[in-house]
Structure 1
Amino acid sequence: MRRLMMIRTKLPGLCAILLAFLCAGALPPARAADAYPSRPIRLVVPFAAGSGTDAVARITARELGEALKENVVVDNRPGANGAIAAELVAQSAPDGYTLFMTTNTTHSANPSLMKKLLYDPIRDFTPVARMGNLPFMLVVNPKLPVKTVSELIAWCRAHPGMSYASGNSTGIVAGATLGRMARLDLLHVPYKSTPPAMTDVIAGQVPMMFVDVAAGIANVKAGKLRALAVTTAQRSRLLPELPPLAETPELKGFDITSWNGVFGPARLPPEIVARLNRELSRIATSKEVAPRFEALGFEGFGQSPGQFAGFVADELVKWTKLVKDAGIQPE
């Protein structure tokens, strides 16, 4: 009898626990997202420390961590033109604890630049937020006797086999496009990332390269590099004094822009995507953060997940044509 009474006494507590579990399963998605995050988040970057994307990622990680009240740790995974990092994220659990800040390198250009790609830029990822653009500029070693793009073209024609360095897909495609449009005999010197490529241009090992403003602006201001033009069709508000390459007669129509955005693995829950997009869009357009981005040479703005998804699909088509028109063979 005493044992029976003890069981009856425990029943209300057991029922309460069971009811709590049932209610938790019935909570709407918004309530489920309220518990996210409950541990540190990893923000994977496909380029080395010191690159433009890395600098933007570190500011973003700090701001996002404060907003979510959880640590956001930048994880640099350079190599294979960003493919190593992309594969890592694509194979991660879609729980919001592994995010990917990347650019057109992994999601627009690689499918045309690489013969064997172990990820699909559309199928294997969830677009979260487009953060902005990373304008690129054509820079040369200051000892090169040229101050305009026209002078550089004339110099290259007088010195066939001039080389250009690259640390990412934008640098690769921009260099090849310059060579094709201006009918130049150029030698491509690829590097694993932007910092070592830029170091060799500064040292005079390679005379020129296309570099994102975020990574190269400090060296331009210090006189270690000479900037000749930007790759966008219009002047950049970050560097209004630099003309677009398209203003050079031989390069009419030249327009190459590098974009930056955050993805998660495929099947990332919509409620987590919505929360992350809200915070990331706020960071990109914040009056406090925007000046810090601009000082790096990054043009920040917000975009919804749906808009970002459509943009990524369009850019894949655009970059496929860019690579083909430039005559670049996949490796």
Structure 2
Amino acid sequence: MNRRNALLLAGAALTVPQITPARAQEAWPVRQVRIVIPFAAGGPQDIPARIIAERLSRRMGATFIIENRPGVGGGLGAQMVAQSPPDGATLLFISSSISILPTLQKQLNFDPLRDLAPLTVVCDVPAGMMVRADSRFADLPSLLAEAKANPGKLTYGSGGVGSANHLAGAQFAALAGIETVHVPYRGVSQAVNAIYTGDIDFVFGSSVEVLSHHRQGRARLLGMTMPERVPAVPEIPAIAEYVPGYAAPNWFAMFAPKGMAPQMMARLVEELTAMKDDETLIARLGPAAAIIRMDGPGPLTAQLSAEIPRWRAVIERAGIGGGS
């Protein structure tokens, strides 16, 4: 190879896009990015979302801020993101309730599979069935026995009609062959307070919201909603051990508006998947038994596609109607 050809090849190599550490210094197309959480401030999504926002702000040449947009069971904020320009200025951080919205909130003018671009599942967040520490229910079999002997007597709370934890309870009753009464609250924290005042018998809540009560000895977790025992709390049985076929996975995920430029999508996915081993995320979510995923768009698309029809069946069987 002569000197002229070598110089041409070297120049060409410099023009080929490559993923290098310098990518962290590339400016994002907008100066400020909203990460919309479609629930009230102070919920379990806020912790990981703020950690992610801080890291993306450091690495992407823009300021990422959290914006809570509650309403319609998460549908209001999700719809806003779906209808936003795909210019990189708006992202969505939402729970597995996104798989419930298409069936429960038919008045919404968007479809998550059609109108949102999946970025990644952030983490799996197991949910648990909790009773007060001095409850007469020492374990799940004792609760099931009383529920079968007294149909319609036991009450359970959740964070609202149509919430993921409401449906976790509805599916539990259907598969266990029991009849329970759902009592909705404005958030799981209010439902937990109702446990302590004796207004309800048990509550379904994410591990972020209920596990600390169990560890402090103030309450007792009778079972977890994941298909198998959760590694962080192996002493707590999976509900499926007593109610075959039961599973109510709970997870947090991020989406962008559909139509974002492929290069921008790739950059976001690159930065998010690199957070799988982020020490701050692990330190904050590990004690709550959350399992960091950050596994990209494919697994999120597959999970959402499978769960939308599954929750549709639960909603229709239980006769749960949506609200405005």
Q: TM-score, normalised by structure 2?
A: 0.84
Give the CA RMSD over aligned residues: 2.4
Q: Give 1:55 deviation, angstroms.
A: 2.1
- Distance in 2 (CA, whole Å) between partners of 1:29 and 1:36 is 17
Contact 1:51 1:214 in 2 (8 A): no
Equivalent residues in 2 for 1:163-312, closer than 5 Å: 163-167=155-159, 169-248=163-242, 251-312=243-304
Q: 1:65 to 1:224 in 2, by over 3 A?
A: farther
Contact 1:200 1:206 in 2 (8 A): yes
SS for the counterpart of 2:133 is coil
Q: 1:289 to 1:202 in 2, by over 3 A?
A: same
Q: 1:288 to 1:94 in 2, by over 3 A?
A: same
1:58 equivalenced with 2:30 (yes/no): no
- Distance in 1 (CA, whole Å) between partners of 2:40 and 2:217 is 23
Q: Give 1:137 deviation, angstroms.
A: 0.7
- Distance in 2 (CA, whole Å) between partners of 1:71 and 1:297 is 30
SS for the counterpart of 1:73 is strand
SS for the counterpart of 1:83 is helix
Contact 1:56 1:298 in 2 (8 A): no
Q: Which residue is 2:117 aligned to?
A: 126
What does the per-residue CA deviation read over 1:205-243, in whole Å, with 9 as the maximum and x for residues that have no partner? 222111110122222222332211101111111211110
Residues 214-223 or 171-180, more deviating: 214-223
Q: Give 1:28 deviation, angstroms.
A: 8.1
SS for the counterpart of 1:122 is helix
- Distance in 2 (CA, whole Å) between partners of 1:143 and 1:37 is 56
SS for the counterpart of 2:221 is strand
Runs of 5+ unmatched residues, structure 1 = 1-26
Contact 1:81 1:192 in 2 (8 A): no
Q: 1:306 to 1:246 in 2, by over 3 A?
A: closer
- Distance in 2 (CA, whole Å) between partners of 1:95 and 1:192 is 34
Contact 1:64 1:283 in 2 (8 A): no
Contact 2:170 2:314 in 1 (8 A): no
Q: Which residue is 2:145 aligned to?
A: 154
1:139 equivalenced with 2:130 (yes/no): yes
Q: Give 1:287 deviation, angstroms.
A: 4.3
Contact 2:48 2:281 in 1 (8 A): no
- Distance in 1 (CA, whole Å) between partners of 2:134 and 2:214 is 13
- Distance in 1 (CA, whole Å) between partners of 2:50 and 2:217 is 26
Q: Give 1:245 deviation, angstroms.
A: 0.6
Q: 2:312 aligns with which of 310, 313, 320?
A: 320
Q: TM-score, normalised by structure 1?
A: 0.82
Residues 283-292 or 146-155, more deviating: 283-292
Q: 1:275 to 1:217 in 2, by over 3 A?
A: same
Contact 1:130 1:302 in 2 (8 A): yes
Aligned length: 300
Q: Which residue is 2:3 aligned to?
A: none
SS for the counterpart of 1:228 is strand
Q: Which amino acid aligns with 2:135?
A: L
Q: 1:208 to 1:262 in 2, by over 3 A?
A: same
Q: Which residue is 2:107 aligned to?
A: 116
Q: 1:270 to 1:164 in 2, by over 3 A?
A: same
- Distance in 2 (CA, whole Å) between partners of 1:138 and 1:176 is 12
- Distance in 2 (CA, whole Å) between partners of 1:225 and 1:266 is 43
- Distance in 1 (CA, whole Å) between partners of 2:115 and 2:199 is 39
